Amino acid sequence: MLGGKNILLGITGGIAAYKTTFLVRLLIKAGANVKVILTDSASSFVSPLTLATLSKNPVLSSFVHEEGESISWNNHVDLGLWADYMVIAPATANTLSKMANGTCDNLLLATYLSAKCPVFFAPAMDLDMYKHPSSLASFEKLRSFGNIMIPATSGELASGLHGEGRMAEPEDILHFIKETLSSDLPLKGKKVLITAGPTYEAIDPVRFIGNHSSGLMGFEIAKAAASKGAEVILVSGPSALDVQNEAIKLVRVVSADQMYTEVHSHYGQMDIVICAAAVSDYRPKVVADQKIKKKDDHLNLELVKNKDILLSLGEQKKHQFLVGFALETENELENAKGKLARKNLDAIVLNSMNDSGAGFGKATNKITFMDKNSSIKTFALKTKAEVALDIMNEIINRIHA
């Protein structure tokens, strides 16, 4: 959900600032790009060097950056536009009051006032301060602006008192953000199964039959589905690609038979299934136990047909929305329509090898999306990440129709 998102973390001067090192680490682990703005007082509680090391970005604290004789400006407007989400944690009573009343006396507040993105704030203060009418008024006013409050918890406070006002723990802050962002996503609560990559069919211990699929299209579809709120299982043949998204469970297989078994083990629980893998149609009838020696001018291999994964899913389909891929070189639309009907699909994604920039090993793709009601939509050449979003949007439009 946070993969590839830009998060601007504002840290103000409370003892809870020490926890932000853990928060930065969790955000990075979730796949986010993180920049930190530190108020002057916050630097007394947490080291800018530590935050810079963890975030992999310089920590900002003032409008002007001086390095030797060079002077540059930290542009608060650019920072506000860069951020997909802004998180202020800990948010002290002082900073919350300034945010609520438009006071702008440091880089963090100027950036907050320039931000166009959702803003989360996690209050942290002592018990009496948290319950004070002025603090409650700040909370209410900030929420009326559309800001999102991450409630403080009860516990031991820096004063030694025990009560409400303790900043939420980093794990809880991350969970709160994810739950808030996912609540309105169209695939929230949906389970999606995606196949990707090639399959390798062994000839002997060192050789195989395969194809040129990198798996990129399937991996991008998995990311797009997760960004829409889905819980994703990605079954991939051999691929150098990986995912760093906790909403995506990556299962690696090698052969078509392994992919068949893995896909069917999950199929009954799935809402949407997208078969983007380039599965080998045939495999050697006999796999040699030892490496085949080069002795003759010719080597004859007897091939047998693999089980058709997509056809078997169509035959067993109940509630699932089933999508296949068709990579064609001739009679593209006719062949895709035939596959759509023959395999009992809800939709099919057509690729043509005749389209420049599409196909295996490319960063781009050009598709035609066709459904069982004969609705056909052709898209321009785009990056595979953009194509993946187009595919997911077409599916969402149909399942919510």
Q: How many CB atoms lie within 10 A of CB 104?
A: 16
Contact 392, 225 (CB under 8 A): yes
C-alpha distances in Å from residue 138, one per residue of 15, 41, 212, 242 = 20, 21, 58, 44
Helices and strands per DSSP (H, E), number in the chain: 13, 23
Torsional sign, CA 138, 141, 145, 147: positive
Residue with tokens 């209410």: 140
Cα–Cα nearest to 193, from 110, 246, 251, 144: 251
CA–CA gap between residue 192 and residue 197 (Å, rounded): 17
Which of 6, 75, 94, 211 is catalytic? The answer is 211
CA–CA gap between residue 224 and residue 38 (Å, rounded): 33
DSSP letter string, 138-167: HHHHHHHTT-EE---EEEE-TTS-EEEEEP
To the query of whether residue 300 is one of the catalytic residues in this protein, the response is: no
Which residues are CB-contacts of 303 (< 8 A; sequence separation ≥ 6)?
209, 282, 283, 284, 285
DSSP three-state, residue 349: strand
CA–CA gap between residue 314 and residue 311 (Å, rounded): 5
CA–CA gap between residue 132 and residue 113 (Å, rounded): 25
Q: Which residues are catalytic?
A: 211
